[in-house]
Amino acid sequence: MSPTNEDNRPKSVPKPTPETEYYWEGTALGELRIQRCNACGKAYFYPRPGCPHCSSTDVSWVTATGRARLHTYLISHRPAVGFADQVPYAIAVVQLEEGPRMMTNIVGVDNTPEALVLDMPLEVAFESRGDQSVPVFRPVGSAQ
């Protein structure tokens, strides 16, 4: 019922659109770029030209600090394509210091309920997905 270990297909690769291209150029450079609305002042994610809070299109790109907290997660025991070697693995939502939340994976720590404590401080790292780079998060201070 789920992909087997013989399935060697890679993890899902994001395909940028014209509206998200600058974000993906950033991740390739090791930068987490988010947007801030100049009209209402709120930061937001995921990237799009109009602010989801006030609909203004007067928005700017900013590079996030990469500091975040673990907001919530689950631990999947069935592998998505490309994740067979990692089962069980956490799929998490983190809250960036700037406010927005995003889905991610947690690296540099066992993906167990004991090791993954809600609200623990995290920092951004990057992992490749095909020719793209995606932001993932690790516990602060866990970098080798």
Partner 1 sequence: MSVRAKTAIVGAAETERIGVVPNMSALEMHAESARLAVADAGLKMSDVDGVAAAGLSPIAVAQYLGITPTYVDATAVGGCSFLLHVRHAAAAISAGLCDVVLITHGESGRSHVGAPPRVADPASPQGQFEAPYGTLGPPTMFPMGVLRYMKEFGLTHEQLASVPVAQRRWAADVPRAMFREPITVDDVLASRLIAYPMHLLECCLVTDGGGALVVTSAERAKAEPGPKPPVYVLGTGEAAETPLVSMMEDFTTSKAFQLSSAKAFAEAGIGPADVDHLMIYDAFAHLPIYGLEDLGFVGRGEAGAFIAEGNTSPGGRLPMNTNGGGLSYTHTGMYGMFLVQESVRQLRKEASAQVPNVDISLAQGVGGMFMAAGTLILGTAAAARV
Give the binding site for partner 1 (CB under 8 A).
2, 11-17, 20, 45-46, 71-80, 82-83, 86, 88-89, 91-93, 101-105, 113, 118, 129, 132, 134, 136
Min CB(137)–partner 1 separation in Å = 11
Task: Pick between residue 87 and residue 140 the one whose CB is nearest to partner 1.
Answer: 87
Residue 116's φ and ψ, nearest 5 degrees, are -100, 105
Q: How far is the CB of 105 from partner 1 (least distance, A)?
A: 5
Q: How far is the CB of 62 from partner 1 (least distance, A)?
A: 18
Q: Quote the least distance from Cβ 144 to partner 1, whole Å.
A: 22
Residue in this structure with the two tokens 């659109």, named with its chain if needed: 17
Give 26 or 79: the residue with its C-beta nearer to partner 1.
79
In SS3 terms, the chain reads as CCCCCCCCCCCCCCCCCCCCHHHHHHHHCCCCEEEEECCCCCEECCCCCCCCCCCCCCEEEEECCCEEEEEEEEEECCCCCCCHHHCCEEEEEEEECCCCEEEECECCCCCCCCCCCCCCEEEEEEEEECCEEEEEEEECCCCC
Q: How far is the CB of 5 from partner 1 (least distance, A)?
A: 15
Choose between 78 and 143: whose C-beta lies nearer to partner 1: 78
Q: Which is nearer to partner 1, 67 or 101 (CB)?
A: 101
For partner 1, the closer of residues 17 and 65 by Cβ is 17
